[in-house]
Amino acid sequence: MIKGLGGAKTLSGEIPVRGAKNDVLKIIAGSFLFADTVAIENVPDIRDVASLLALAETLDARVERRGRSLSITAPQESAGHLDPHLAKSLRSSVVLTGPVLARYGAVSFPHPGGCVIGARPIDLFIKAFEKMGATCRVEDGAYRITAEGGRLHGADLFLDFPSVGVTETTLMAATLAEGTTTIRNAAMEPEIQNLARFLAASGARIEGIGTPTLTIEGGSALRAAGKTYAVIPDRIEAGTFLVLAALAGDDVTITGCRPAHIRALTALLEQAGADMTIGEDTIRIRATATPYHAVNVRTHTYPGFATDLQAPMTVFLTQAMGESLVFETIFEGRLNYTDDLKRMGANITMFDPHRILVRGATPLVGKELDGPDLRAGLAYVIAGTIASKESVIHAIGHIDRGYERIEERFRALGVDITRAVD
């Protein structure tokens, strides 16, 4: 339940950013490439982490967790069968396929789950594995992939689209493949760079980190040798908090973040008129006397504007003077949430599944809504915060997948928000 501020800018204080969901999940998957125990720090307490750890345990991995620290020891042998129920509960289960296939020679899994934000096919994963010498069969709705001779082979891969998941999965698979693998048109997100550095620090031979061409010389199982690796701050969380502060904040500082990872967002907010002071690991934003003005948003792969920040930014644009065009280039179903914003009073015209026009500024009125996915769900919370009257957001399990104890952290800034007990 959220009680809106109705346009008042009263939030103040500091809000820390936790470890990145899209980084820690891949490092957990990468632990299956190791012959010894992998230690991870700055682990967020979110549902997707718990789900992936439960899935790892069904593969006989040994998991120990203490607060924000985590250790994982992969089994020496495994049949590579991903539990269907757990695998369907999160999209990131698919990144386990690369390490498990490369380590044990076979993997079976259902079509992965996650947020319903448009078609998210896995054909690019299958094509990459097949080029690396694997065969794929589909039986009873499940994929069964087997490496020829029990080991993948290096290949020259050109990705039709710079997919984050495919880049990460093939990168991990290539570290144990026989020979050299080149991934061209690779995604370059900070989480991919951190994953590559995590693997390289433990013996993987990877060139081109941070570029669209990655070259990996395959070898034997990696060794952490007692080293601990830290998850980077969540740039999507930082950006979402920044949008909340821009809309409802008097004087708010986001701490423990990496502003360099969200330059596309901060540049647009500055263009819109936001008053920000950007430090090395903090962003302070203060209320301004003048209204924000419209800006156009086009999502793109990193370092462009992140698709995961598109929904919060659209809420921001409902409060900006003028007309803003939002062009969602990644997912064709990701603008469906705007129907609910229109119910709250937003003036939004949808041209097609990829483009909307937002006319502002328009006051929002609280409504009872169902959160459709992780990112739009939190965008509804932001909208409810600035709306007049009370909002009730259902299906908050989506939010818990990627944001840790969000109501506690927002209350610390002054948001009037409570979680109903079922």
Q: In what order do the strands lie in the sheet with 297-298?
A: 297-298, 322-327, 355-360, 347-352
Q: Are 385 and 1 in contact (CB under 8 A)?
A: no
Q: Output the pLDDT for position 7.
A: 75
Can you tell me which residue has the tokens 């984050």? Answer: 164
Q: Identify whether 55 is part of a domain.
A: yes
**What pLDDT score was predicted for residue 91?**
78
pTM of this structure: 0.94
Please report the pLDDT score of residue 288 as a whole number. 94
Q: What is the pLDDT of residue 25?
A: 96
Residue 115 falls in the annotated catalytic set: yes
CA angle 35, 36, 39 (to 5 degrees): 135
Domain end residue (candidates: 220, 251, 269): 220
351, exposed or middle or buried, with CB in 10 Å at 0-12, 13-18, 19+?
A: exposed
Q: What pLDDT is stored for residue 246 in this prediction?
A: 98
Q: Write out residues in the chain with pLDDT < 70, as ranges.
A: 112-121, 421-422
The per-residue pLDDT for 120 is 46
For residues 147 and 244, state if they share a domain.
no
Specify the pLDDT at position 114: 44
- The 10 Å Cβ neighbour count of residue 289 is 5
Choosing from 5, 70, 115, 152, which is the catalytic residue?
115
CATH (domain of 334): 3.65.10.10
Are 88 and 26 within one domain?
yes
Q: Quote the pLDDT of residue 121.
A: 65
| Domain that includes residue 313, residue range | 2-18+233-417
The amino acid sitting at 28 is I
The predicted-structure confidence for 333-356, as pLDDT tens digits, reads as follows 899 999 999 999 999 999 999 999
User: Which pLDDT value is given to residue 339?
Assistant: 96
Task: Flag whether 392 is in a domain.
Answer: yes
Cβ pair 384, 396 in contact under 8 A: no
* Predicted pLDDT of residue 139: 82
Same domain, 140 and 238: no
